[in-house]
Every structure is written in C-alpha cells, then in structure tokens.
Structure 1
Amino acid sequence: MTEYGIVERSIVIDAPADRILPHLTSFHSWVAWSPWEGTDPELKRTYAGTDGTVGASYEWDGNRKAGAGTMTATSIAPDSFDVALSFTRPFRSQSLVHFALDPTGASTKVVWTLKSPKTAMSRIFGLVMNMDKLIGNDLDKGLAQLKRVVESA
C-alpha cells in the first residue's frame, strides 16, 4: 500500500461554484491566480487539448525556481476538478491535485488538496523542510488570489 503526503487548504469565495469552476478547469486562467505565477518572467508555457475539458494539459518549463512539468485535467464535475501533476525538474515527482467546491448558501467553500506518494527522496526532503507549511503557504496564496479574481469579475 502506497503512503501519501497530503497538503490541503480551503477558502470561502462569495460566488456560486459554477462561477468558480471555469477559473480552475481552464489552464489559461491559472495565469491570473496561480501562486507560482511570476517565479520566472520567461517561463515557457504550452497548452494542449481543448481547454476546460478532460485531457487538456498545460506544460511549463522555467528557471530553477519554476522548474518544469505538466498538468493534465483528469476529471471535471460541477463540484470538483482533478489534475495529474508531473514534475520533471528540479526533481521528478507525481502528484494528484483535487479541487472540491462545496456550496454554502450564496458562497462556495473551495478545498485544494495535493496528494503525493511518499518516496525515499520526499522522506529525506521532509526531514529538513516542513512540506505542509512550504506547499500549504503556496496553496493559501493561490486560493486568496482565486478569491480576488472570482469576486472582482
């Protein structure tokens, strides 16, 4: 049985789920809210497939801080979005990304979960870095930016 490391954050956005979901399912839209935007001003982006549909993908290649990898949409539902995340640089890793949208009256609670198999490398890295804090801070930043983008639209 594979053991996983899980990092999860949430925020309440003053909008219905159907106004939030397109900002998640369209990889082109991530430029407006992703916490990793701006880490490399010369980042190379490649999009494939039909944006906003299962199978659509986003590939990036950047500097040491941005790294390189691919995200592929694996499932889209009115209340969720799943992504297969694959890093090729600075180290190889595979993760599952899940966004859950839970209506709460006129607002929606958005939960962003990153689930990564624990490998020998991630265990060693975990000895010197708190992954929940490191990645969690990025997820918090991204959710705050997503909230700002959606609520100002």
Structure 2
Amino acid sequence: MKILKPVLIVLGVLIVLTLVVGLIQPTHFSYEKTKLIEAPRQVVFEQINNLKNWENWGPWDDYDSTLQVTYGEVYEGVGGTYNWTGDPKNSGSGTITLNYSSMDSLCFDLDFGGEGGGIGWFKLEDAEGGGTNTTWGMAFDVPYPFNAFTIFSAGAMEKNIMDMFELGLSDMKKYCESNASPRGNLAVQEIDFPGRTYLTIRKEVNFTEENAISGFLGQSFGAIMQAMGPAGVQMAGHPTGLYYSYDVETGTTDMAAAVPVENGANVSGNGIQVVEIPAGKALLIEYYGDYNGIGAAHEAMDAYIAKNGLTQGTPVIEEYVTDPGQEPDTSKWLTRVYYPIAQ
C-alpha cells in the first residue's frame, strides 16, 4: 500500500499535466507547400484530377516499398477513390476520396483506416510570367486531451509531411514540364482552313473511362480504312478526331473518328458517314508531345479566344500527324489542333 500511494500520486500528476498541456496544444494541424510548375494549368490539373496519374509523381513509394494501390470504379473527378495498403508501421492503409474538382482547386477526404482522418487539397494559380503556382495541402484534427501528446511529435510530424510535399511537387514539376509541349510554345496561329471531306464514325464517349477515347479512335479508324479498300478510296491526309462537345460535368464527349478523303469519295456501312468541314477562318496550334498533355493546347486556345473576343465554331479538330507506331519518342509526336472561328 505504501508503494501504491506514490504511484497513484504520480499517475494523478501525469493526468493533470496531460489535461493542462492539452489546453495549450492545438487540436487542428494544417500544412501546405507551393511550387512553381512551368506548365499550363490544364497540364497540372490532369495530373491531380485523375487519381491514376498520381503514379507519375506520388512520393509514397520512396517511403514504403510494400505499398499497394487500387482504384475505385470512378478514379477521375468528384467521387474518384484511391485505396492504399502498406507496412502497418509505415504507410498503414487508407482511402482518398475526391469531393471537389475545378480548374482552380481540388479537395479530397483522407481516411487513415480507422486511425483518424483529415482533408487534403491542391490549389492552382496562374503564375506571373507563365506557369502554374501549385499548392499541396493537408489538415487534420487531434481531439483533446490526446492532442497533449503532440508536444513530443509535432515537430517530426511537420517535417515528414513537408518533406513529402516537397518530393511530390518536385516530381510533379518534372513530369508536367517534360509533357507540356516540349517543342514550340503553344503559339496560336490564325489561318485559313482549306476545308476537308472526312469519312467518320461518330459516338458519345465517356472519357472518364481509361483509354476510352484512344480505344474508340483506334477501333473506328480500323473500321473506316477496312471499308475504304474495297471501295477504292484513298486516304487524303492524317487520321483526325472531330470533337463536337466536351462536357466535364458529365464526363462525356460527342466526337467522331475521321479519315480525310478526296471530295466526292463515299463509303457506306459500319456506321460510316461523310462529313464536309467547310473552308473558313480557324486557329491552329502545333502541339508536340504525349497525348495526355494535349489539354494544354486546348487551354491556350480558350484563353486566346476569350482575349480576342472571338466566337468558337464546331467541331474542334485534332489532326494526328505522327504515327506512334513509327516514332517511339513522344516528344516528337505532332498533333495539329484546329478551332474553327464562327463568322
């Protein structure tokens, strides 16, 4: 009993100290870091809005080589989910769920697998002189009185989080800058579009599905060219995509795979239709790079049209000049992007 009394006194003192320190220590912790990425906002946005693209820059493998990642049925935009499982003493397990997405910011919920939760965010701002100021942030709460114990761990916790932000943003910067049109500067040219005749297959495509657009184009180009042979029709240009609409909210695009042919050529069957794009004023960007970064060209077009008070016509045209099967270097892939201008 003589020993028990001092133990109870010490225990009582520790409890009181914990309660007092808990009153002093914060319960809310918030961290963020900003880095300039020399790439258009659209390029950066594509890397954060599609959770599968996080593999291009995410720093987590550097911390935990056992990390395993899976994705939900939706992995792009609001409702997208990302699940991870790793070393219980390191990464643990958890889920990221996107709850807000716009060209200015993206927010997500963090669930640390029964060990608490928090929120995360990215903020994108056009930088003076070009590029995108990209901010990565995270916040969470430690309830009273457990927050008292953060007096010992807060410093190390902040360092670990900020180091993670630095590594991830640095890798994102490298990836985005290497995929933001390595050649040229996305200069917009005002041209006279000569007008063209296309054999097309048109469809509404859900672009949130992996490889949906490329899959549709590849299959449709094959079907059109297969039908051209027996009809004796020759290609008169490069394979092309025609985009009549692109709805971010629904995740769909009304588009057509198009093969240019001489005027008057006609092929029937397989849902193929002849489309005439008339001659007229248009804007042109010659984009070099992987198709995943082509959004930068469209963003540049939108900005040019708004700045100069122009009215965009339809359809938007992507002309795929370089055959990826013949040129493995993505930096040499040329896509001509045309925006018709309504007169």
TM-score under structure 2 normalisation?
A: 0.41
CA shift, 1:53, in A, is 1.6
Q: Which has the larger radius of gyration?
A: 2
Provide the rounded CA distance (Å) in 2 between the counterparts of 1:96 and 1:39: 21
- The residue number in structure 2 matching 1:79 is 104
CA shift, 1:6, in A, is 0.5
Q: Does 1:132 align with 2:155?
A: no
Shift in CA distance, 126/145, structure 1 to aligned 2, threshold 3 Å:
farther
Letter in structure 2 aligned against 1:93? G
Q: Is the 8 A contact 1:13 1:147 kept in 2?
A: yes
Q: Does 1:44 align with 2:42?
A: no
- The residue number in structure 2 matching 1:35 is 59
Q: Does 1:152 align with 2:184?
A: no
Deviation track 1:75-132 (CA, whole Å, cap 9, x = no partner) reads: 00011110101112xx712111010001014211001110111334454144234122
Q: Does 1:65 align with 2:90?
A: yes
CA shift, 1:152, in A, is 1.1
Provide the rounded CA distance (Å) in 1 between the counterparts of 2:54 and 2:147: 26
Shift in CA distance, 21/129, structure 1 to aligned 2, threshold 3 Å:
same
Among 88, 104, 110, the residue aligned to 2:134: 110
Comparing 26-35 and 2-11, the one that deviates more: 2-11
Which 4+ runs in 1 deviate beyond 6 A? none
Shift in CA distance, 122/71, structure 1 to aligned 2, threshold 3 Å:
farther
Among 152, 167, 188, the residue aligned to 1:141: 167
CA shift, 1:66, in A, is 2.1
Shift in CA distance, 92/122, structure 1 to aligned 2, threshold 3 Å:
farther
Letter in structure 2 aligned against 1:96? I
CA shift, 1:27, in A, is 1.3
Among 98, 104, 107, the residue aligned to 2:121: 98
Q: Does 1:55 align with 2:76?
A: no
- The residue number in structure 1 matching 2:191 is none
Provide the rounded CA distance (Å) in 2 between the counterparts of 1:127 and 1:42: 28
Provide the rounded CA distance (Å) in 1 between the counterparts of 2:72 and 2:106: 17
Provide the rounded CA distance (Å) in 1 between the counterparts of 2:66 and 2:85: 9
RMSD after superposition: 1.9
TM-score under structure 1 normalisation?
A: 0.88
Provide the rounded CA distance (Å) in 2 between the counterparts of 1:129 and 1:7: 12
Comparing 120-129 and 137-146, the one that deviates more: 120-129
Letter in structure 2 aligned against 1:148? K
Q: Is the 8 A contact 1:72 1:84 kept in 2?
A: yes
**Between Structure 1 and Structure 2, how many residues are aligned?**
150
Shift in CA distance, 24/117, structure 1 to aligned 2, threshold 3 Å:
same
Q: Is the 8 A contact 2:75 2:82 kept in 1?
A: no
CA shift, 1:133, in A, is 1.6
Provide the rounded CA distance (Å) in 2 between the counterparts of 1:123 and 1:49: 40
CA shift, 1:32, in A, is 1.8
More strand by share: 1
Structure 2 unaligned blocks of 5 or more: 1-25, 180-343
Letter in structure 1 aligned against 2:104? D
CA shift, 1:39, in A, is 3.4
